[in-house]
Chains A and B, each alone.
Chain A
């Protein structure tokens, strides 16, 4: 932990994320306006002292929408990655632990999912079932677990023949206990790195989906659909496009810095 605090990348990322978490949790108290309040006479105002980041085509306050959007975007990022880590860990440990044809079949599935462009799967599944926040989180998670599965499998494979694992096995530990107590804890470092980077990736994906109209549905604000709503006014009100993109950029950057910081910490161990 102390090493991590010395790492400039990790500290910068963590501070930005802490600030974001405060903003997201405190949205009702921080946001100057109701993010859903439509006010047509004040549509498309440029940034001013009343509306720091201007207003959108329906006259809603952009700053308030971005503050509430932080909640949605961060929630989607964390839950999607949670699903990916869960599925990846289960698949990776089953494949690594049991080996044989189970391993082969599962790893071919991983290869397959890696070779289908994930945008294709995301768009197709969401368009066919119909967009909702739950589905978006599930689909981003279910198209993003392959990296974790490979990491966990590699770690389990390299450890399962070691003496301490054999010893535990001789003592009668069940497969589940072996995995939980002896194999998985060792894989958690790389998985943590990939999860941290993954949250940034999931937030990026959500923004693309929302921009294409298949993400979070209006009027609920997410950074992606605030961007989408600004699209119609791209020529006259560029700030509607600039600010949500900056929010995404800063957040994803923070996760990448933190992830990279943790990675360095583990590599230099």
Chain B
């Protein structure tokens, strides 16, 4: 296990390097000096701030020197200061991170709560009525633009019926609420965004669950269990589901970029002050230090998620860590 873990972590190093190269490269896509664009698009940047930026990034130096400097700074978790308000980028990100994490964790819970039963039920009788019904649902769900569904939800539940709030994270008089009401209020505001981000992966996940379960149910040990007279519910859930869930761990890790990317769209639509919206605002204002930091952090979080998923898989399934090398 330790050997597997070491190999897996070592293989991440080149990926990390590529990530920093790409993030760094973003800043140099624009013609001229990065600070020119910022100053042109945002008159709030003072000359002094601009000179500090240029010195900080060593923009008079050759590109590889600039990259090396930037790299040594981000290794120490120093992402510089925002062009917009001169606050440390790391501080801006960490204050926005909890909301985004909350949305993603809840939507993941929702995905599991719906996709697993759906996949299992469809797999019990492949080609049966329920299976065909969910196939159609999955195809449509897979093809629908989730932001469009979010807008329709907003128009219907928010504007027409007035059941759900359409934007923001808190009600106006949030500060005056008791603690439990503050929580309830926040949860209330998160219903539509969570539903939207969950929807993105829901169709795919229930499909994977179905095919994984169908595979497992054809295994010899399932036939053995049935032949022994184990009752069907136990065969499905104890022998079947437990094994069918294994590959899902990996799929979950792979769907992380979509979840993080989805929060950019959801938070922008619902005006939620999370990491995704921070990214959108930074991109629109060409706030390069924030953009570069978020691309790096977003990719890093995804990689970490994938690593955790692989480790979880390997600890659950010995064939992985013995069999193939990472």
A interface list, Cβ under 8 A from B: 104-105, 108-109, 111-121, 123-125, 127-129, 200, 204, 207-208, 211-212, 227, 231, 234-235, 238, 241-242, 244-245, 248-250, 252-253, 256-257, 260
Q: Please pick, from B151, B283, B302, the residue contacting A127 in the complex, using a CB distance under 8 A.
A: B283
Which 4 pairs across A and B sit closest by C-beta, in order of nearness?
Answer: A119-B261, A245-B148, A112-B18, A117-B261
In the bound complex, how far is the Cα of B241 from the Cα of A241, in angstroms? 40
Q: Judging by beta carbons under 8 Å apart, are B151 and A207 in contact?
A: no
Residues from chain B with a CB closer than 8 A to the CB of A257 are 139
Q: Mark B298-313, 1 if CB is under 8 A from A, else 0.
A: 1100110010000000
In the bound complex, how far is the Cα of B284 from the Cα of A249, in angstroms? 28
* 23 CB < 8 A contacts A-B: A104-B14, A108-B11, A113-B22, A115-B15, A115-B303, A116-B257, A117-B261, A117-B264, A120-B295, A125-B26, A125-B29, A127-B284, A128-B286, A129-B30, A204-B143, A207-B147, A211-B147, A212-B265, A227-B151, A238-B152, A245-B148, A249-B143, A250-B143
In the bound complex, how far is the Cα of B163 from the Cα of A225, in angstroms? 28
Residue in B29, B30, B147 whose Cβ sees the most chain A Cβ within 10 Å: B147
* Residue of A with least CB distance to B148: A245
Q: A235 with B152: in contact, given A115-B257, A118-B257, A204-B145 (CB under 8 Å)? A: no
Total number of residue pairs linking A and B with CB closer than 8 Å: 135
Residues from chain A with a CB closer than 8 A to the CB of B140 are 249, 253
Task: Check if B198 is an interface residue, CB within 8 A of chain A.
Answer: no
**Closest Cβ of chain B: how far from A119's Cβ, in Å?**
3
Residues from chain A with a CB closer than 8 A to the CB of B260 are 117, 119-120
Task: Check if B279 is an interface residue, CB within 8 A of chain A.
Answer: yes
**Closest Cβ of chain B: how far from A140's Cβ, in Å?**
13
Q: Judging by beta carbons under 8 Å apart, are A116 and B286 in contact?
A: no
* Residue of B with least CB distance to A119: B261
Q: Judging by beta carbons under 8 Å apart, are A123 and B280 in contact?
A: yes
Q: Judging by beta carbons under 8 Å apart, are A124 and B26 in contact?
A: yes
**Closest Cβ of chain B: how far from A235's Cβ, in Å?**
4
**Closest Cβ of chain B: how far from A102's Cβ, in Å?**
13
* Residue of B with least CB distance to A260: B139
In the bound complex, how far is the Cα of B24 from the Cα of A112, in angstroms? 14
Task: Check if B268 is an interface residue, CB within 8 A of chain A.
Answer: yes
**Closest Cβ of chain A: how far from B12's Cβ, in Å?**
9
Residues from chain A with a CB closer than 8 A to the CB of B286 are 127-128
**Closest Cβ of chain B: how far from A125's Cβ, in Å?**
6
Task: Check if B142 is an interface residue, CB within 8 A of chain A.
Answer: yes
